[in-house]
Chain A
């Protein structure tokens, strides 16, 4: 019999958790409102309210053991939110790099810009395709770019450790197809000279990337002319004049990728069809939005999986901590609860009261953990070797409202599991034994 009851409880638990995962925030709000109405309007509800009131009022006396629940859950939520914020920030940075009305063209089946080669002829053909926006002078808004990597000394290391940074050879058109790029310090590089501008993210990571300073690329000295900001993945790059970069890397007249500005987002299909139908071209065309989204896909997935696995293991620990505390709380109040039952309180208000108390502590922990994660990690700079790129991509962790809500959901779920079993035990203890005990 007890076995069946426990099995039933476990099944209920699984069902509730599954439903909980799906639940959007307004659903949870609705549930809370329903619970509130029940407690205000019905007799049972009023009983539950008074039992909860007694439980909550004794919390300060049990501050040590209650803190176990709060801090345990705060730890889970903090780590979870921080790890997910990493995934979020990474995806966000790449998402912002693309738009629907610009397209990027690479040689067929190239995994990354750096692996692609576009000849002069290819570039001319692409410029003639329909759907390409024109400049005031009537020329196609098209930027053919050389993408290479450069080794630079990493900031903050004492040894001569070097990291890789993606370097892009561009012309004036690059700024026309990417209006978000703006110079924040110094000036633009001069065509034909060994000068470059550096993204803010790159300047944060590598040594000596300040306007006026010289850096060494291979055997050549280059001058940093300015710093640019764009708020996306371009910020992790160095930009310089395309012919000079191509010359340094022995690339001749060919380029790696072509980014075009389309007349509008709807023109993309026509543009892609024209390139695919051109027998002289063997290229892959995608909107920059799709291109960067695809790059972030795998990494974001890995980061999310790590976050959820670590979060789950920690959550198991926190659940047992909560169970422990609540079993102890229920045990010390066994006589009080039995007295309530003896004077006619049914089991339900007792169950609700214990669960509410646990979930209240859990919610506190969730909010605390989320707040700590937000304060410590929102905007925290991180970097990794990005997929589809040959340089370190720097990005900022982003603790969004969505993530905080997700963390709170985890907290409440842990509180639910941790409260359910002690609550049921409290309600099902035989009154006579409980009164005789202690």
Chain B
């Protein structure tokens, strides 16, 4: 530690070069921070204690196929089931078909299933008693400038009403607040409408249910309960497939894109380039200090401590750049999420990202510094001072 000022002075011996190298390191770790945020936000979807105790039951045939309403009581009767609710995909869009809204037609007890969504008692009552009522997420309301009490049209990209029109009227009766602000991206954008209104209005549903959500009393029993639910409709024309919310989310995300693979291949290319670049900087830095290092050795520094100092210098370089880069990513991520109007959710780099990031910084620092540090350690004093090394 007492050599810190020496290392620091060596690092900023050539300010321009160090700054240029730092900027490259910063951009690499900025990219790492942002991409890792994308990966974790995909990974974390459904990964909560609540998610592990909730089961989703859909048609085994395909996700567009609906299930009969009558299953409600039969699922309720399965041993270990605490609560059953159901919902249908509405496929709503506001004004322009591109402005898609996550909209579900939900059963009266749907909110009981999701403690992640906080709705005031007053709003819940209004939702239950207003046929055209809708509950909207805070973020969604902000995005379209909706207020409680507004009457808004929403088009369904799937379901027409009895006259064939796809424009549905709704009255906003309350807001949904995400209980956990940090991972609330999804609930913040939700639009819930009454299942009864939906079923009565479109001729294309007729008492069918898109999917069931079940809460099990004990998460360890989830597998057994899932099998029992699927057994109810085995060999019928509406076989079901039940998965924990966690598993269902993961497999859905995987169908959209193998995010993990994309992220790691981009990062591979970036870090490879980074290694080369900062490696070159360190080689240059040590080469031009040959005589200084020889002097250090002459006045009694051992080969090992010279080695350690050069290694410390390169690790310090990487850590400074990396921490600034990751810090920037933590600031920029939420800004980008806000700017995208909820369509993107990039949380600030979490503990995990930081741990991985710092691990990479130290590792790269050691790799990058290894060769110049070894050269410095093996440096022959007489050769170096005579200008032969």
Q: CB distance B280 to A325 under 8 Å?
A: yes
What per-residue 1/0 map shows which CB atoms of A311-340 lie under 8 Å from chain B?
Answer: 001101110110111011000000000000
B205 is an interface residue with CB less than 8 A from chain A: no
B91 is an interface residue with CB less than 8 A from chain A: yes
A363 is an interface residue with CB less than 8 A from chain B: no
A320-B64 contact in complex given A109-B157, A115-B158, A328-B17, C-beta closer than 8 Å: no
Q: CB distance A162 to B239 under 8 Å?
A: no
A316-B236 contact in complex given A109-B155, A114-B64, A325-B280, C-beta closer than 8 Å: no
Q: CB distance B27 to A117 under 8 Å?
A: no
B272 is an interface residue with CB less than 8 A from chain A: yes
Bound-complex Cα distance A163 to B248 (A)? 11
Q: Which of A75, A107, A115, A282 contacts B270 (CB 8 A)?
A: A75
Q: CB distance A317 to B273 under 8 Å?
A: yes
Q: Which residue of A lies closest to B272 (CB)?
A: A75
A327-B20 contact in complex given A68-B280, A151-B241, A392-B255, C-beta closer than 8 Å: yes
Which B254-271 residues sit within 8 Å CB-CB of chain A?
Answer: 254-257, 266, 269-270
Q: CB distance B273 to A111 under 8 Å?
A: no
Q: CB distance B241 to A162 under 8 Å?
A: yes
B356 is an interface residue with CB less than 8 A from chain A: no
Q: CB distance A75 to B269 under 8 Å?
A: yes
B17 contact set on A, CB distance < 8 A: 324, 327-328
Bound-complex Cα distance A112 to B21 (A)? 50
Q: CB distance B24 to A321 under 8 Å?
A: yes
A79-B269 contact in complex given A310-B31, A321-B24, C-beta closer than 8 Å: yes
Bound-complex Cα distance A228 to B263 (A)? 33
A110 contact set on B, CB distance < 8 A: 157-158
What per-residue 1/0 map shows which CB atoms of B19-39 lie under 8 Å from chain A?
Answer: 011011001101100000000
Q: CB distance A313 to B157 under 8 Å?
A: no
Bound-complex Cα distance A115 to B204 (A)? 10
Q: CB distance B280 to A65 under 8 Å?
A: yes
Q: Which of B59, B63, B274 contacts A317 (CB 8 A)?
A: B274
Q: Which of B65, B166, B274 contacts A249 (CB 8 A)?
A: B65
A324-B59 contact in complex given A110-B157, A250-B237, A317-B274, C-beta closer than 8 Å: no
B281 is an interface residue with CB less than 8 A from chain A: yes
Q: CB distance A218 to B61 under 8 Å?
A: yes
Q: Which of B30, B62, B91, B266 contacts A150 (CB 8 A)?
A: B62
A68 contact set on B, CB distance < 8 A: 276-277, 280
B16 is an interface residue with CB less than 8 A from chain A: yes
Q: Which residue of B lies closest to A115 (CB)?
A: B158
Q: Which residue of A lies closest to B158 (CB)?
A: A115
Bound-complex Cα distance A384 to B253 (A)? 10
Q: Which residue of A lies closest to B16 (CB)?
A: A327
Bound-complex Cα distance A282 to B163 (A)? 11
Hey, which bits of chain A sit against chain B, CB under 8 A? Answer: 64-65, 67-68, 71-72, 75-76, 78-79, 107-112, 114-115, 117, 148-151, 161-164, 167, 217-219, 248-250, 282, 298, 310, 313-314, 316-318, 320-321, 323-325, 327-328, 384-385, 390, 392
Hey, which bits of chain B sit against chain A, CB under 8 A? Answer: 16-17, 20-21, 23-24, 27-28, 30-31, 59-65, 91, 93, 97-98, 155, 157-158, 160, 164, 166, 204, 234-239, 241, 251, 254-257, 266, 269-270, 272-274, 276-277, 280-281, 283-284
